[in-house]
């Protein structure tokens, strides 16, 4: 007979895995919501009221009339029909609906596991942090949407980046916890030992690239230069007036943001290759498989990034680029886990 403790721990592990899948799914839908410019279609923060979509023409007209009040409609979509509005509405609606589902799916079982007294407290403490981040993420989502309702035709790329980064932190934390629960260990993530620092630095580089990627997406900076390897006819974009060093900190400049995104990718590749050489030279056999997985995903991501540009930011390729970026983060965290003690 399997003990009750073993059963509950097994259910706990499966619950975490499904939670990870749901968070990954909402990141995918969130990316498509941004790529289709659908994020401003619902201009109110409807926590309970918006659970059901509009069910009749009157309800649809109310939502559409509210959308007509914001700059995105007035300046970009003033010829939009109700039928086209429904398309962008449903992208944002499903994004919000899944967010609610994730909150409930994480909260209700967490109460059960907490009172069951069968799950180790260290694991539960991490779950409480994850749930807090999920709640904060909802606030960040609305904070992002608000930035596009008054003076802008799109959301702030800074707030978009904050929203995405929080999602990456959530999915990474769940992933690390799954590894610990499965292995029945308590490996700490932030162990600043000499052995771990090279791994943590690679994680830092990749997450920084995801943040810059969110800037690119939020600014539609991929529309500026759609050539590779040069940006137009030059390595450095020639539409930037280099008058002082502060220009290099202008993250509102579309061309500069794309330049940083491209070149940080090159830095990551070089670092990853040097890192690979070091691991094989020091014969760290336990790291070979997770390292190979990381490299495969990394080069897939590079190819998708280049193809996204050359295709004129084709929505399917751009979405694949965003999807693989999450896998890249998880793969480097997986590599770090195998190294951590």
Residues 153 and 96 in one domain: yes
What does the pLDDT average to over 256-282? Answer: 95
Quick check: 272 and 202 in contact, CB under 8 A? Answer: yes
Given a cut of 70, whether residue 1 has pLDDT beyond it is no
* Number of domains the chain contains: 2
**pLDDT value for 6:** 77
Residues 65 and 96 in one domain: yes
**Which of 176-185, 207-216, 232-241 has the lowest average pLDDT?**
232-241
Residues 307 and 219 in one domain: yes
Of the three residues 184, 216, 232, the one that is the final residue of a domain is 184
- For residue 243, name the pLDDT band (cuts at 50, 70, 90): confident
The model's pTM is 0.93
**What phi and psi values does residue 234 have, to the nearest 5 degrees?**
-130, 165
Residues 151 and 288 in one domain: no
Residues 30 and 43 in one domain: yes
What does the pLDDT average to over 164-177? Answer: 96
Residues 231 and 121 in one domain: no
What does the DSSP 8-state code read for residue 54?
P
Other C-beta atoms closer than 10 Å to the C-beta of 19 total 23
**pLDDT value for 63:** 93
Residues 39 and 155 in one domain: yes
Of the three residues 184, 218, 235, the one that is the final residue of a domain is 184
How deeply is 318 buried, as exposed, middle or buried, from its count of CB atoms within 10 A (0-12, 13-18, 19+)?
A: buried
What does the pLDDT average to over 137-158? Answer: 91
DSSP E strands: which ranges in the chain? Answer: none
Quick check: 328 and 298 in contact, CB under 8 A? Answer: yes
Strand partners, 14: none
Residues 24 and 48 in one domain: yes
Of the three residues 149, 184, 219, the one that is the final residue of a domain is 184
- For residue 3, name the pLDDT band (cuts at 50, 70, 90): low
Residues 177 and 274 in one domain: no
Residues 175 and 191 in one domain: no
- Structural domain containing residue 106: 1-184
Given a cut of 90, whether residue 107 has pLDDT beyond it is yes
Residues 179 and 201 in one domain: no
What does the pLDDT average to over 330-340? Answer: 94
Residue 120 to residue 9: CA distance in whole angstroms:
9
Mind listing the pLDDT tens digit for each residue in 292-305?
Answer: 999 999 999 999 99
Mind listing the pLDDT tens digit for each residue in 12-68?
Answer: 999 999 999 999 999 999 999 999 999 999 998 887 787 888 989 999 999 999 999
**pLDDT value for 206:** 96
Mind listing the pLDDT tens digit for each residue in 184-231?
Answer: 899 888 887 888 899 999 999 999 999 999 999 999 998 889 999 999
Residues 17 and 161 in one domain: yes
**pLDDT value for 2:** 57
**pLDDT value for 72:** 93
């Amino acid at each position: 007979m399997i003990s009750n403790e073993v059963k509950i721990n097994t259910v706990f592990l499966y619950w975490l895995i499904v939670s990870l899948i749901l968070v990954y799914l909402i990141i995918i839908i969130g990316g498509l919501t941004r790529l289709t410019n659908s994020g401003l279609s619902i201009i109110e923060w409807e926590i309970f009221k918006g659970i059901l979509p509009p069910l009749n023409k009157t309800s649809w007209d109310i939502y559409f009339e509210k959308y007509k009040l914001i700059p995105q409609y007035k300046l970009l979509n003033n010829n939009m029909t109700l039928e086209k509005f429904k398309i962008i509405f449903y992208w944002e609606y499903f994004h919000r609906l899944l967010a609610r589902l994730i909150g409930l799916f994480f909260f209700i079982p967490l109460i059960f596991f907490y009172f069951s007294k069968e799950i180790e407290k260290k694991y539960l403490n991490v779950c409480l942090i994850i749930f807090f981040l999920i709640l904060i993420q909802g606030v960040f989502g609305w904070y992002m949407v608000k930035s596009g309702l008054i003076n802008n035709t799109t959301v702030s790329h800074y707030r978009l980046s904050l929203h995405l980064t929080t999602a990456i932190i959530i999915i990474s934390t769940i992933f690390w916890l799954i590894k610990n629960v499965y292995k029945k260990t308590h490996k700490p993530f932030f162990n600043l030992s000499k052995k771990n620092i090279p791994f943590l630095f690679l994680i830092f580089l990749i997450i920084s690239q995801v943040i810059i990627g969110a800037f690119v997406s939020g600014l539609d900076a991929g529309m500026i230069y759609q050539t590779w390897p040069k940006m137009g006819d030059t390595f450095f974009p020639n539409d930037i007036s280099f008058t002082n060093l502060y220009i290099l900190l202008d993250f509102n400049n579309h061309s500069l943001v794309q330049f940083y995104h491209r070149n940080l990718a090159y830095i990551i590749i070089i670092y990853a290759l040097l890192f690979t050489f070091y691991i094989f030279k020091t014969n760290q056999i336990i790291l070979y498989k997770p390292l190979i997985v990381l490299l495969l995903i990394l080069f897939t991501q590079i190819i998708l990034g280049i193809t996204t540009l050359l295709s004129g930011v084709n929505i399917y390729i751009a979405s694949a680029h965003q999807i693989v970026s999450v896998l890249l983060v998880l793969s480097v965290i997986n590599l770090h886990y195998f190294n951590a003690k």
